[in-house]
């Protein structure tokens, strides 16, 4: 299934004075044209069904203390190739992924400096990826990028789903607006975060989802972000040109490069069908194949945890209120007065283990188990956690034994408080501690401003850190779910132990004031383009004051919508985030969370419109069971789907969890209906979803 063929186009093209190089997608819908203009500036255009999607856009870099790499280029030669293979991910939305593209490699020489910069374009059926390559050469060795000058020139004032460009966080609600409206809406869109740094009133983040007035869906992101800094986009809102904007380090400097080196891939997905964006595997395909030889220890995990109770303020991470400042190794916790609200205590954790065992969950996450939470953020504190010392009321050995006896795995939590040197210093010991105590997965956190001070969450320095922690974890056979870290760019193909990331506004914000009702109809088009999110769905009690009378937040969602998320928000790591007592009140609905698959043979994108609705059907791996999820946006809507993907001639039992007629995400979010029915491949299903509602269906062969 794999072949690669290079063609030297150079001779012909130059003989006839043809400057433009072209390459099309295998199916022919998308084509890309590369050319060098009269200034020697490399440029490209993208077309979809012969209509322009990306107008002529410049390529290149400005450098520090060296001549820029953005003009004065001549074409040395070019190559095209075709690639077509199928690979099997360790986990994913489907058990086989097709990687099919046509490639154009242009080799450019800057005549005044005799420096070579190559650009490799790959055109897939759903979009384009390109990266810069700096081969080993005499005149370009160490260099420092001042700015990436890649442009993405839009054809008009598109509609966009965007979050503010920021060097430290993606935890923003999405704003839907015309490109021209971004500037005016920027301030309002920048909501508070414990660490944030915006850079421009037209700066936005990737993955950026757009829709043109002609009905084209366009998505810009990046793939394989390794040893580089995060790509942001700054809009020239007079000309609707997005300019690349890299995240600087503490000194305002962008990536330090050593040739030979490649940049990450810049990706542009385009289709006239929004479902193609969700179905695309461009991001993974542009990453390197798996580098972990034995992946048998990497397994999807469905889990519960000691978490939502702290997020809502019902209990606390900290063990005591005695200390305003903690010095690890000095502060004596054994003499401290327990505050009575500490969540991670033996008794309570055992209750969670019992609940997990009773309902067949794989794991239990416990946050706040280790000393240091009394002053864990806001102090720029270096030695904030040691990752191995439990609070007096949490007995690691006892919990390990108890969990083992119940067939449940414990999930470790490493909040770093962004004190990154401290984390790296403890990483080996912390990972060893995990393995010694039966933990195979860790949720890591990067809350607050980075130490070393002045460093940004998305700089090259920090990208290297996340990668370091991930690769070291792989050596220990540990799965990583990093929160507040960089948003994923498909690296899980290469390191499939990266089973989760936060890097967006997750469910926690439903307890911090609530997210927009259609938030989850946007995320799969944006944040999830790069990889799975530990969104932590499954909230059944939407009135947070029921958990903590001081917290007036409301979860903007119906229970049916929460169930659907287990299908629509693909992740190999799925939490049932609410408290056992809330699940016990709705055990019939909870059944879907227990039943729903975690890993998939196939995924079908039945309906999709960013911001409005998403309906996905997935076939659980190694079974004949299907699960369907529908999440709905801001307007009531009828979803009509056909079950023609079911095996012909077979009968299945479908259990449908849907919004009740009177469901309302604000006033009546717990109103749902559950119906069982027999279905076949000839069945059609029509269901009404309310605003911020949806439905979930499990389909099991009879």
Binding site for its own copies (CB under 8 A): 138, 141-142, 144, 249-251, 253, 256, 258-260, 324-327, 330, 375, 379-382, 421, 424-425, 428, 452-455, 461, 464, 468
Q: Tell me phi and psi for residue 545, to 5 degrees.
A: -65, -20
Q: Residue 351 or 424: which CB sits closer to its own copies? A: 424
Q: Which is nearer to its own copies, 293 or 662 (CB)?
A: 293
Show contacts of 175-183: CB within 8 Å, 24+ apart.
176/522, 176/611, 179/154, 179/210, 179/235, 179/237, 179/240, 180/237, 180/240, 182/235, 182/237, 183/237
Angstrom distance (rounded) from CA 227 to CA 588: 48
State how beta strands 626-632 and 265-271 pair. Answer: unpaired
Name the nearest CA neighbour of 120 among 284, 226, 290, 262: 262
Closest contact distance (angstroms) between CB of 685 and its own copies is 54
H-helix or E-strand containing 429?
Answer: helix 420-436
Judge whether 702 counts as a catalytic residue: no
Tokens read off for 460: 């090259």
Q: Please report how close the Cβ of residue 388 comes to its own copies at its closest, in angstroms.
A: 16
Task: Give the Cα separation of 481 and 465 in Å (integer).
Answer: 14
| Residue at token pair 């439990």 | 390
Nearer to its own copies, 1 or 330 (CB): 330
Cα-to-chain-centroid distance, residue 330: 39
Q: Say how far residue 411 (Cα) sits from the centre of its chain.
A: 20
Q: Map tokens 């994913």 to a residue.
A: 92
Task: Give min distance, CB of 324 to its own copies, in A.
Answer: 4
Between residues 13 and 253, which has the closer beta carbon with respect to its own copies? 253
Q: How crowded is the C-beta side of 4, counted as CA atoms within 13 Å?
A: 7
Q: What's the min distance (Å) between Cβ of 67 and its own copies? A: 17
Structure tokens at 490: 């498909």
Alpha-helix residue ranges (DSSP H) falling in 531-579: 559-568
- In contact, 335 and 572? CB cutoff 8 Å: no
Minimum CB separation from its own copies for residue 194, in Å?
Answer: 16
Of 398, 344, 341, nearest to 371 by C-alpha is 344
**What is the secondary structure of 487-527 as a DSSP string?**
PP-SGGGT-TTEEEE--S--GGGGGTT---TTHHHHGGGTG
- CA trace torsion 518, 658, 577, 188 (10° rounding): 10
In the complex with its own copies, the residue whose CB is nearer, 15 or 65, is: 65
Nearest CB to its own copies, comparing residues 133 and 375: 375
Q: How far is the CB of 494 from its own copies (least distance, A)?
A: 16
- Specify the length of the chain in residues: 702
- Taking the C-alpha atoms of residue 4 and residue 81, their distance in angstroms, rounded to an integer, is 6
Between 251 and 686, CB nearer to its own copies = 251
Sign of CA dihedral 5, 8, 12, 18: positive
Q: How far is the CB of 254 from its own copies (least distance, A)?
A: 12
Instruction: Provide, rounded to whole angstroms, the least separation between the CB of residue 380 and its own copies.
Output: 6
Query: With respect to its own copies, which residue has the nearer C-beta, 379 or 675?
Result: 379
DSSP letter (8 states) at residue 547: T
Minimum CB separation from its own copies for residue 293, in Å? 17
From the list 508, 581, 638, 691, the catalytic residue is 508
Residue closer to its own copies (CB basis): 121 or 387: 387
Q: Rounded to whole angstroms, how far apart are CA atoms 52 and 74?
A: 25
**Which is nearer to its own copies, 196 or 271 (by Cβ)?**
196
Taking the complex as a whole, the smallest distance from the CB of residue 142 to its own copies amounts, in Å, to 4
Closest by CA to 624, choosing from 593, 600, 657, is: 600
Q: List active site positions.
A: 508
């Amino acid at each position: 299934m794999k072949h690669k063929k290079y063609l030297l186009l150079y001779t012909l093209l130059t003989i006839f004075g043809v400057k433009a190089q072209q390459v099309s997608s295998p199916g022919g819908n998308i084509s890309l044209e590369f050319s060098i203009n009269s200034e020697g500036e490399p440029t490209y255009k993208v077309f979809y069904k012969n209509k322009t999607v990306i107008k002529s856009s410049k390529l290149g870099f400005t450098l520090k203390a060296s001549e820029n790499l953005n003009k004065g280029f001549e074409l040395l030669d070019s190559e095209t190739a075709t690639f077509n293979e199928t690979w099997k991910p360790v986990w994913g939305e489907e058990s086989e992924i097709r990687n099919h593209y046509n490639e154009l490699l242009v080799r450019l020489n800057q005549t005044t400096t005799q420096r070579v910069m190559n650009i490799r374009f790959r055109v897939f059926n759903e979009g384009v990826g390109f990266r810069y390559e700096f081969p080993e050469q005499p005149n370009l060795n160490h260099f420092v990028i001042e700015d990436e000058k890649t442009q993405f020139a839009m054809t008009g004032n598109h509609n966009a789903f965007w979050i503010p460009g920021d060097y430290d966080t993606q935890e923003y609600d999405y704003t839907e607006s015309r490109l021209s409206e971004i500037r005016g809406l920027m301030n309002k869109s920048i909501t508070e975060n414990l660490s944030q740094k915006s850079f421009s009133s037209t700066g936005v983040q990737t993955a950026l989802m757009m829709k043109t007035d002609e009905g084209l869906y366009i998505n810009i992101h990046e793939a394989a972000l390794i040893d580089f800094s995060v790509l942001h986009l700054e809009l020239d809102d007079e000309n609707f040109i997005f300019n690349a904007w890299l995240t600087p380090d503490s000194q305002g400097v962008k990536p330090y490069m050593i040739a030979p080196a490649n940049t990450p891939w810049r990706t542009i997905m385009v289709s006239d069908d929004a479902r193609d964006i969700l179905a695309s595997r461009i991001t993974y395909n542009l990453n390197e194949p798996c580098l972990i030889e034995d992946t048998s220890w990497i397994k999807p995990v469905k889990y519960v945890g000691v978490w939502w109770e702290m997020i809502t303020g019902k209990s606390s991470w900290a063990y005591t209120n005695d200390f305003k400042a903690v010095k690890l190794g000095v502060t004596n916790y054994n003499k401290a007065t327990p505050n009575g609200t500490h969540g991670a205590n033996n008794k309570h954790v055992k209750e969670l283990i019992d609940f997990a065992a009773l309902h067949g969950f794989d794991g239990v996450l416990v946050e706040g188990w280790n000393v240091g939470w009394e002053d864990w953020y806001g102090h720029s504190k270096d030695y904030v956690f040691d990752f191995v010392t439990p609070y007096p009321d949490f007995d690691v050995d006892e919990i390990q034994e108890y969990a083992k006896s119940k067939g449940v795995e414990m999930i470790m939590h490493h909040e770093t408080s962004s004190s990154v040197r401290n984390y790296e210093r403890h990483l080996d010991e912390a990972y060893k501690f995990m393995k010694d105590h039966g933990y195979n997965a860790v949720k890591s956190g990067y809350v607050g401003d980075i130490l070393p001070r002045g460093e940004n969450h998305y700089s090259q320095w920090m990208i290297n850190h996340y990668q370091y922690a991930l690769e070291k974890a792989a050596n220990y056979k540990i799965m990583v779910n990093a929160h507040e870290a960089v948003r994923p760019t498909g690296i899980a193909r290469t390191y499939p132990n990266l089973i989760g990331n936060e890097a967006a506004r997750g469910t926690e914000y439903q307890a911090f004031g609530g997210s927009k009702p259609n938030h989850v109809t946007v995320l799969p088009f944006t944040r999830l383009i790069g990889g799975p999110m530990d969104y932590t769905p499954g909230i059944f009690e939407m009135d947070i004051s029921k958990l903590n009378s001081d917290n007036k937040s409301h979860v903007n969602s119906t229970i049916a919508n929460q169930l659907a998320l287990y299908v629509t928000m693909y992740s190999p790591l799925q939490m049932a985030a609410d408290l056992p007592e809330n699940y016990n009140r709705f055990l019939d609905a909870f059944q879907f969370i227990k039943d729903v698959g975690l890993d998939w043979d196939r995924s079908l994108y039945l309906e999709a419109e960013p911001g409005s609705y998403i309906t996905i059907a997935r076939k659980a791996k190694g079974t004949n069971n299907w699960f369907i999820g529908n999440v709905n946006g801001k307007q009531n809507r009828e979803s009509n789907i056909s079950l023609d993907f079911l095996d012909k001639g077979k009968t299945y039992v479908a259990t449908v969890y849907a919004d009740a007629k009177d469901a309302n995400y604000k006033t009546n979010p717990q109103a749902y209906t559950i119906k069982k029915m027999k279905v076949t491949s000839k069945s059609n299903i029509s269901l009404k979803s309310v605003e911020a509602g949806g439905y979930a269906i499990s389909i099991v062969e009879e």
